[in-house]
Structure 1
Amino acid sequence: MSSKHFVNDPTQLVNAALRSLTLTNPNVALDAENKIVYRRPGSDAPAQVSIVSGGGSGHEPSFAAMVGPGLLSGAVAGTIFASPSAEQVRTGIATRVDQEKGVLVVVMNYTGDVLSFGMAVEKAKAAGTDVQMVVVGDDVGVGRAKGGKVGRRGIAGTVLVLKIAGALAAAGRSLDEVAKVARLTADNLVSVGASLEHVHVPGRAVDGQEDSLKAGEVEIGMGIHNEVGSSRAQLDLPELVGRMLAQLLDQSDKDRAFVNVNSNEVVLLVNNLGGVSALELGAITDEVVTQLSKSYNIKPVRILSGTYMTSLNGLGFSITLLNVVNTDIGGPGMIELLDAPSEVTGWAAPIQKTTWEAKNTAVRTDAVKENQEIKPSGLTVDVSGASTALTTGLKKVIAAEPEITRYDTVVGDGDCGIGLKRGAEAILKHLEQKPLTGDIVIDLASIVPVVENNMDGTSGALYAIFLNALVHALRGQGSGQATPKVWAAALKQTNDALSRYTPARPGDRTLVDALYPFVDVLEQTGDIKKAADAAQKAAEDTKGMQASLGRSVYVGGSGYEEVPDPGAWGLATFFLGLAGQ
């Protein structure tokens, strides 16, 4: 791989590339601090559903160069191959796009992206924004067996979801309709990539241990972040394309037969991963189209060939097939939406002369402050009792830190107890400065930023998503006293929300093992002490349970037989304190 770059500072590289978009497309502005590219306000166009996407940098022109009329309303960028933070995304949703008709968030299926964007979505919901999220997983390079609960990765097919959803939003359709068609498009996509070499990320040292491919060798199924593929082989182009199409279309391959491409209308996207010449990409496209016709009798009604989603300067390409189906919304179909005009630099559509001459310089500013976003709910608790219970639970977690840390040292990286303690101490300090008001939605919403800012890592993200979702769920419970029945209903709804962002379920040896029993027993009995006891027993039962998710998956030895899951134990400890035990 080549480690030579014109710009070797990755921070400077990303920032400069984002600024360049405001130079090449007068439609867009840049929030440089948060790495958000967004449509400038002030046009005469009627309000529409806003569409927000994004992810790590290095995949240009996705996603920032797809912001503009007919496509995205905003895109949030992370550093190279790393997801943006939840706060970046929240800022994008809350202050950089129009919320009047609702917001659709589309994200590729990578853990960091799903968690960061998911946390922001739940926070937006808690603030009263009408927002939905669609996760795209179109890659078949990793089959069902290896993908497991994580599922398919999102790759180049995502841009077809964005284009179709963007055109439908521009047509004035509702958020429910736009989200429905976006999900339908994602469900009918299959993609696979191949590359002759891994890529070098600017700013990273070259240590001589790079996993280079041999001369003439190609890697099938390589991901867009340098992830290894399904196989390596020495193949010429016809053989390579034949193998890739088989992964996409062979219904007898039960590990990869995700979509039965059987529609009368099929869209083909041949995507340049960044380092293939235009001349060679033309030859690749010709080979793909020829084999589709000859071997599968598929004659695509639309053929898109170009650079849509890259892996920096990846020396490879990907093939995407969209099985066009009826949208059932009584309006434009997928092909019509793909053909609809857009005015972005990342899609084949010119910027109009009138746009250049308009010289629009309007920008969006932060329109709302954090403490103004949460409205009173009328759902109340006894301030004295709630303060005592919450304080007791937090202090019990702090006292248990050495025990939790010891457990995590055996089966993880030793930071679980410290993280929980840091979060608990921060909440206690917050409660001293801002005592509970009795309105449970306002009180819980004020605690959420404390968790987000003081608990990092995957567990911090999970707690933040859970609490944001709980705020939203409690708001939907009406007014009056927050009884155990009310709490149980809200917690049940929150568990459902959390399940959209993590595949963790009871039995996977995570904090979920303590969470679900607590909610179930509280729902059945209305007794918080019985619920806490159930959580503690479930946490104890994780001893001897092999992990399916989390860092413990990668830790060898028999430690899992000796100690319970530290995350589950920490949560159960909090529940016991909350119940006064």
Structure 2
Amino acid sequence: MSNKHFINDAADLVASALRSVPVTNPALKLDEENKIVYSKHNAADTVAIVSGGGAGHEPSFVSFVGSGILRAAVSGSIFASPSVRQIYNAIMHRVNPNNGVCMIVMNYTGDVLHFGLASEKAKAAGLDVEMVVVGDDVGVGREINGKVGRRGIAGTVLVHKVAGALAAAKGSLQEVTEVARLVSANLVSVGSSLGHVHVPGHGTVENEAALKETDVEVGMGIHNEQGFKRIPIPPLGELVSLLLKQLLDSSDKDRGYLEEVEKNEGWVLLVNNLGGVSPLEMGGVTAEVVKQLDATYGIEPKRVFSGTYMTSLNGNGFSISLLRLVDTGLGKGKSVLELLDAPCETIGWPMIVKPETWDNKVKGEVAEKIADDERIPSSKLKMDTAIFSKILTAGLKNLIEAEPEITKADDIVGDGDCGLALKSGAEAVLKFIDSGKVVPDAVITVAKLAEIVEEHMDGTSGAIYSIFLNSLAKALRRSGEENATLKTWATAAMAALVSLRRYTPAQPGDRTLVDALQPFIVALAEDKGLVTAAKAAREGADSTKGMRPRLGRSVYVSEVGDTLDPGAVGIAVLVEGFALYK
């Protein structure tokens, strides 16, 4: 892969690319501060389809905003999920949510958690919001992906198109959501690449994980993740045969994701360019795929889409997606095929923007700044602010001191940012405490902590901590008590743990922070005190030594060795700090 770019600053690259979208489609507007591309025409009587994810996958997602597909898309940094605040602002301020919002999200931990938390916050504000998580990749089978499930890749754009067309046809939120899930359930994709991509502004890394010049990665993800296996580059026909077998071989129990249906109405094929394959070569790939589908499987696709839909920057590879057409149950005009054929107006889908849209262009339109209008209602639950601040401060200082230990562990089993993310969040909360803003109302204080964590703690850790704190605030409000005792906190924490499981299936034994968090909360709920509870958390963290990961990015790491899970260590050192209070 080339490591030469015209724009070498990653942040400037994303900002510049986003500015191009309303330039090329005047029906759109850009909220540059929140990296939201949204439609000017927000019909109140139709469901708003919202999506998004990390930058680097263009034209997904921002170039699919427009009439007939997405109402808005939120962009993160390159290969990084947008923040909860960005997503929340999109839902609350950049789409008209009167008839409901359907969020379509690819199955990556950060995206699911961030969009999930934004969804919960919007629901709490009275909006009707549903979330559809798309996992279409068969490149990594069930045995390896475990509880994480299939990754979302290029087939997601077909879910966008069908859901957007049904929303434009005045489908209800329930209908749009159910059809989006139906399409996702009948969708399989797999990718292949000749090399890893280079992120602008990053150094060139040469290590054992690098793909050899003579090899091809089969089942490669869209963020440089490893796939199923690496093999010497074969003739195209052999490679396509291998990929189609992964998609369609029902005898492969590890990848046979398509369940039997009573009536198969046909197939749709999407051959997607990961960004660096020439149109000429993509034509050859598409022809080979169509030929083998007919000759080997007796499949003649009713529609063939070939082009650039979801990239991995300049990835020198392609993916194949097959969508099985099944009955939506909604009658004439609303079959999956008819919805795919429905007109739309976006710069990403292969349709031409209508001339009248250009005629209606108004120069100089700038998005108004969003006011920070979140309000936290007061509660009757009171606490001793001095004790609360001292306990929390002890834990946060302990966590900050442990950053090198946590970072070292995450360098081995993750992407190396866990320790710094926890430290950043802890420092922000300490600043809040030192400013004297902790108030006796326990609910208001905890809700404010959730906002601070959401704002200052990046990545998956920030999302998990923020969801837990928001759920904790909700449980405290519902406690019906007037004085917050340790039992009050323990009961609310148990309820928050249950709420957290709506967004992550993590259980003790999965090698996540839950290995330390759950034992701590259970011990508190059993009135064993802070010291004993902290010991339980430490034992839980220590139990992750050598444990095979079942959730998070670690599932893609072949060997974790004796390294402890960094998230579990973070919980352990935090609560050990709590226990230091006398």
Sort the TM-score into its range (normalised by shorter chain): 0.7 to 0.9
- Identify the residue that residue 315 of structure 1 maps to in structure 2: 316
Write out aligned runs for 1:90-489 (5 A). 90-206=88-204, 211=210, 213-215=212-214, 217-231=215-229, 232-260=231-259, 263-328=264-329, 332-360=334-362, 364-369=367-372, 372-374=373-375, 376=377, 379-381=379-381, 383=382, 385=383, 387=385, 390-398=388-396, 400-401=398-399, 408=406, 418=423, 421-422=426-427, 424-429=429-434, 432-433=436-437, 435-437=439-441, 440=443, 442-456=444-458, 458-471=460-473, 477=478
1:326–1:480 CA distance, 2 compared to 1 (3 A): farther
* Structure 1 position 451, deviation (Å): 2.2
The one-letter code matched in structure 2 to 1:278 is P
- Identify the residue that residue 515 of structure 2 maps to in structure 1: 513
* Structure 1 position 318, deviation (Å): 0.9
* Structure 1 position 255, deviation (Å): 1.6
Gaps of 5+ in 1: none
* Structure 1 position 474, deviation (Å): 6.4
Equivalents in 1 of 2:400, 2:279: separation in Å? 59
The one-letter code matched in structure 2 to 1:467 is L
The one-letter code matched in structure 2 to 1:422 is E
* Structure 1 position 373, deviation (Å): 2.4
User: TM-score w.r.t. structure 1 length?
Assistant: 0.84
Matched pairs, number: 563
1:495–1:299 CA distance, 2 compared to 1 (3 A): farther
* Structure 1 position 102, deviation (Å): 2.7
Given that residues 66 and 344 in structure 1 are in contact (C-alpha distance below 8 angstroms), is that contact kept between their aligned partners in structure 2? Answer: yes
Given that residues 425 and 452 in structure 2 are in contact (C-alpha distance below 8 angstroms), is that contact kept between their aligned partners in structure 1? Answer: no
**Pairing 1:74–2:72 present:** yes
* Structure 1 position 490, deviation (Å): 6.2
Equivalents in 2 of 1:30, 1:416: separation in Å? 28
- The DSSP-based 3-state class of the residue aligned with 2:339 is helix
The one-letter code matched in structure 2 to 1:22 is P
Gaps of 5+ in 2: 412-418
1:420–1:288 CA distance, 2 compared to 1 (3 A): closer
1:559–1:236 CA distance, 2 compared to 1 (3 A): closer
- The DSSP-based 3-state class of the residue aligned with 1:23 is helix
The one-letter code matched in structure 2 to 1:305 is S
Equivalents in 2 of 1:492, 1:176: separation in Å? 31
Cα distance per residue 1:378-410 (max 9 Å; x no partner): x531x2x35356335314414645885697488
Cα distance per residue 1:36-76 (max 9 Å; x no partner): 211124x6x44322222122222111111100111111112
* Structure 1 position 288, deviation (Å): 1.5
- Identify the residue that residue 35 of structure 2 maps to in structure 1: 35
Question: How much identity, in percent, do the aligned residues show?
Answer: 50
* Structure 1 position 375, deviation (Å): 5.5
- The DSSP-based 3-state class of the residue aligned with 1:447 is helix
The one-letter code matched in structure 1 to 2:232 is A
* Structure 1 position 214, deviation (Å): 3.3
Equivalents in 2 of 1:390, 1:373: separation in Å? 24
* Structure 1 position 246, deviation (Å): 0.3
Cα distance per residue 1:240-282 (max 9 Å; x no partner): 1111000001112122112237623222111122233333323
Given that residues 400 and 427 in structure 2 are in contact (C-alpha distance below 8 angstroms), is that contact kept between their aligned partners in structure 1? Answer: no
1:253–1:444 CA distance, 2 compared to 1 (3 A): same
- The DSSP-based 3-state class of the residue aligned with 1:149 is helix
The one-letter code matched in structure 1 to 2:272 is N
Cα distance per residue 1:295-348 (max 9 Å; x no partner): 122222222222111122322221101122333466823222212211101112
Cα distance per residue 1:137-159 (max 9 Å; x no partner): 11111122222332222110010
Which has the larger displacement, 493-502 or 14-23? 493-502
Given that residues 422 and 461 in structure 2 are in contact (C-alpha distance below 8 angstroms), is that contact kept between their aligned partners in structure 1? Answer: no
Given that residues 241 and 292 in structure 2 are in contact (C-alpha distance below 8 angstroms), is that contact kept between their aligned partners in structure 1? Answer: yes
The one-letter code matched in structure 1 to 2:250 is Q
RMSD of equivalent CA atoms: 3.7
- The DSSP-based 3-state class of the residue aligned with 2:98 is coil
The one-letter code matched in structure 2 to 1:429 is D
